[in-house]
Homo-oligomer: A and B are copies of this chain.
């Protein structure tokens, strides 16, 4: 276990700044005294783009490689055309650093709001593929802007890419008490990609005889997310289906104010990146209204990735305790960060 952390911080846009500050506060509070935390802030996002037209210059990308991990707040602003920052910065990082495991835990904590009647038990993890599928930017348009326009989006899937993320998901399922893994795809329509996913899922599964498996089409999966979320333990799925399912999962487990995510490179050839699932929420930015919990839970994922398991658990326990103690009165971003910093230190 390394006794120093060299962390890249990309606060980004909107509430990104505010929530990242709380994430760092809690990180500092939870780390043992002998662990040296170094942080370097990267000015990337909408302001940078407006100033210089750059989304992620090569020099910055190179520099980011030298860190143990990246903490990211949120990227995006209505003043920037849709897709520019997403593809030029956020997805570029995921692809450049081969973050093929996009890990998104979903847990319904006690005393949190859920839109679901009856408060089902929800405690599952989505392993979303992060470097392939419809996210590769492969596609184009012909006769753009004319009545004869044709636009394509190509979903690229490789056995190489599917096998490694499926294996990671089996490992995670095997390490959990229920040992259950669900593949979500749409193999009755997307037959080429879908059949490849299913075949690899079945083949790799032979190495994990203790893991129970099942398969759901993505449309059916959304039904179970609201009618029987307790049936899920670990889910492995394609990049786009994972995007959709994890927002829905966040919604049923208390909202995206609580949903953490990790963009992991399990081979550790590049730094992994940790970020809340939520966006930059420009409508509430700068008002101290953002809930930093999702970022703080992302810091827990970061710590676990770097081998600080006990510290990660301390954060998760602190969040559970903080949520249990919430009485509905409004707290500022800062107050929630302070409360959690006190809990993890105590």
Interface positions of A (Cβ within 8 A of B): 76, 82-83, 86-87, 91, 114-118, 134-135, 137, 139-141, 143-160, 163, 186-196, 198-199, 218-220, 222-223, 225-227, 240, 243-244, 246-248, 250-252, 255-256
Contacts and interface: CB of A to CB of B under 8 A. Distances in A.
Given A83-B187, A150-B158, A190-B134, A247 B222 contact: yes
Given A188-B86, A256-B223, A156 B152 contact: yes
Contacts of A154: 152-155
Given A141-B196, A193-B151, A222 B223 contact: no
In the assembly, how many copies of this chain are there?
A: 2
B135 A227 contact: no
A220 to B, nearest CB: 6
A26 B147 CA distance: 44
Nearest to A249: B222
Given A222-B222, A223-B250, A226-B251, 17 more contacts: A83-B194, A139-B190, A139-B192, A139-B193, A141-B193, A144-B196, A148-B160, A150-B156, A150-B157, A151-B157, A152-B157, A153-B155, A189-B243, A219-B248, A222-B248, A222-B251, A226-B226
Contacts of A226: 115-116, 226, 248, 251-252
